[in-house]
Amino acid sequence: MVGGSTSDNRKFVVLDIETTGLRYRPHDAKTLRSNDIVYDEILQFAIVDAASESLFYDSFSPIKHSSWTQAQSIHGIAPRDIKDKAPFSSRKAEIQTIIDAADLLVAYNANFDLAFLSAQGIELQDKRFVCLMKSFAQIHGRRGRYHISYT
C-alpha cells in the first residue's frame, strides 16, 4: 500500500474536484480588483481513504455561475443537477477536518485541485501531496505542453 497503513487508512486520502472552469481565485486575490474577474467555482468534491472508503462526497451550487458549457462537456455536471444544492462554504469545516487528519493528499492534477481548495479557504500549509498526473506521465513517458519537467 503506497503512502498508507493498514492500521490507519486516513494516512493518505485521494481527492477529486469538478469545477465550472479552470480559473481559481488566488488566495491573495484581495489585493486584486476581484470584481473584474469571475473566478470558477467547485461543483463537486470527493475524498476517499486508502481503503477506498468514501470520507466525503457532495455537489455544490455555484454562487456566481449559472452555466459552464465547456466544463460541462468534460464532467457532465449540468446546472439543473445542482440547482438545489448548498454552496461549497456550507461544508468547508467538514472538509477541513478530513484534510487535517490526512498526512498525504493524492490527486490527479493535484496543483489544480489544491489551488481550488486553497482559494476556498481550505488550509493546506505543510501538507504533502502526490500528483498522479505527473506520476503517470513519468511511467507513460509523456508530459503536457504546460509542464517543463516531470517533477
Does the structure show a pLDDT above 70 at 47? yes
The answer to whether residue 3 sits within a structural domain is: no
Q: Are strands 128-131 and 42-49 parallel, antiparallel or unpaired?
A: unpaired
Q: Are strands 54-59 and 104-107 parallel, antiparallel or unpaired?
A: unpaired
User: What average pLDDT does the chain have?
Assistant: 80
Q: Which residues of 110-141 are buried (b: 16+ CB within 10 A; e: fewer)?
A: bebbbbbbbbbebeeeeeebebeebeebeeee
What is the crossing angle of helices 110-119 and 132-140, to 10°? 170
- At 141, is the pLDDT very low, low, confident or very high (cuts 50, 70, 90)? low
The answer to whether residue 64 sits within a structural domain is: yes
The answer to whether residue 125 sits within a structural domain is: yes
- Total domain count, the chain: 1
Give bridge partners of residue 106 from the DSSP assignment: 14, 130
The answer to whether residue 146 sits within a structural domain is: no
In angstroms, the CA 77 to CA 68 distance is 9
The answer to whether residue 28 sits within a structural domain is: yes
What is the CA angle 90-76-91, rounded to 5?
Answer: 10
39: domain CATH number is 3.30.420.10
DSSP-assigned letter for residue 48 = E
What confidence score (pLDDT) does residue 77 get? Answer: 94
What confidence score (pLDDT) does residue 105 get? Answer: 95
At 125, list the grid cell: 500549509
Q: What pTM did the predictor assign? A: 0.76
DSSP-assigned letter for residue 20 = S
Selection from 73, 126, 134 nearest residue 109 by Cα: 134
The answer to whether residue 7 sits within a structural domain is: no
Give bridge partners of residue 146 from the DSSP assignment: none
The answer to whether residue 55 sits within a structural domain is: yes
Domain limits at 134?
A: 12-140
The answer to whether residue 27 sits within a structural domain is: yes
What confidence score (pLDDT) does residue 61 get? Answer: 93
